[in-house]
Every structure is written in C-alpha cells, then in structure tokens.
Amino acid sequence: MARERTLAMIKPDVVKKNVLGPVFTAIEEAGLRPVALRRTQLSKSQAEGFYAVHRQRPFFGELTEFMSSGPAVLMVLEGEDAIGRWRELLGATNPAEAVDGTLRKRFGTNIQCNGFHGSDAPETAAFEIGYLFPGMDIVPA
Ligand code: IDP
Ligand code: MG
C-alpha cells in the first residue's frame, strides 16, 4: 500500500466531549502521524463547500448547521494506507452500526453527529486538504 495523506476531522460533537486523548492514542497506535493540525469553527458556507458532494441529500442543511455549530479539530494524517486505515478506525457512518472499539462507536453521537470525518479516496483527500489547509507547506512525517 502507498504512503498517503488523508483529511481527518474531529467534528464539533466530539470536540465538545473533550476526549482528544484517546483519539490521538488510536491514531498513534495505527501508525499514523498528524502532519498538520488546526482547531477552528467552520462557517456555514465553509461547511457547505466541504460537503458540496452531499448538496442534494435531504440532510444537507442540518448537517452543515451541525458542522458549523462549534469548534472542530482538523488534521492531515500521513502513513501507509492512511485513507483506509483512518476510515477503519472510525467505523460505519452510523455510530449505532459501527463495530465495537471503533471511534464512532466509542465517541459518536448519532448518524448525523457521528464525531469524525475521513476522506474516502486520494482525489477527495487532495481536495479536502487543499480546502481546509489552503496554501500550507505541510512537512512530511
Ligand atoms: P462518511 O462520513 O462515513 O463518509 P457519508 O455518506 O459521506 O458518510 O456522509 C457524510 C456525513 O453526512 C456523515 O459523516 C454524517 O455526518 C452525515 N450523514 C450521512 N448519512 C446521514 C443521514 O442519513 N442522516 C443525517 N446525516 C447523515
Ligand atoms: Mg463520505
């Protein structure tokens, strides 16, 4: 598997729960390294741009309200198969259906406020990293 970068986000529900420690432990134990990190509150329009592919879905309005409702932690994770590995750590989109031990199962709230985001392919990772870390020179791990 290739060395990759993925955009990882700790969404506002989990930031509010103040459980960053176990999240970073899971990242480290998976052999991934945060190579860029920032905490910010997305505006509604930033959230809409980030989730533009979901524009037509019925929950788009509520989802982007939630995503802009409080601070989020944004990261670029780097490592072997980083995209798949991070999504594996997250578990299914719906925390209620996620495998025991996954981050969404442990810390997610519900299908909308599911705690975390992870890019799903190299192309989306490139878009999302450029969108949330614009113009940043990210030093490799
Ligand atoms: P993913 O985050 O696991 O890739 P996607 O299908 O890409 O899941 O959906 C993007 C985000 O939209 C999810 O992480 C979740 O916050 C929200 N979402 C997905 N499905 C639903 C739903 O049925 N109702 C409300 N929100 C949803
Ligand atoms: Mg997705």
Nearest CA to ligand 1 atom 18: 112
Check residue 58 and give its pLDDT.
Answer: 98
Give the mean pLDDT of the chain: 97
Query: What's residue 1's pLDDT?
Result: 72
**95: pLDDT strictly greater than 90:** yes
Q: Give the pLDDT confidence of 43-91 residue by residue, as tens digits.
A: 999 999 999 999 999 999 999 999 999 999 999 999 999 999 999 999 9
pLDDT digits (tens, 9 = 90+) for 22-41: 999 999 999 999 999 999 99
Active-site annotation holder among 7, 89, 117, 129: 117
Q: How far apart are CA 68 and CA 30, in angstroms?
A: 29
Please state the pTM of the whole predicted model. 0.98
Distance of CA 3 to the CA centre of its chain: 18
Q: What is the pLDDT of residue 87?
A: 98
Residue with CA closest to ligand 1 atom 11: 112
> 3-class secondary structure for 58-95?
CCHHHHHHHHCCCCEEEEEEEEECHHHHHHHHHCCCCH
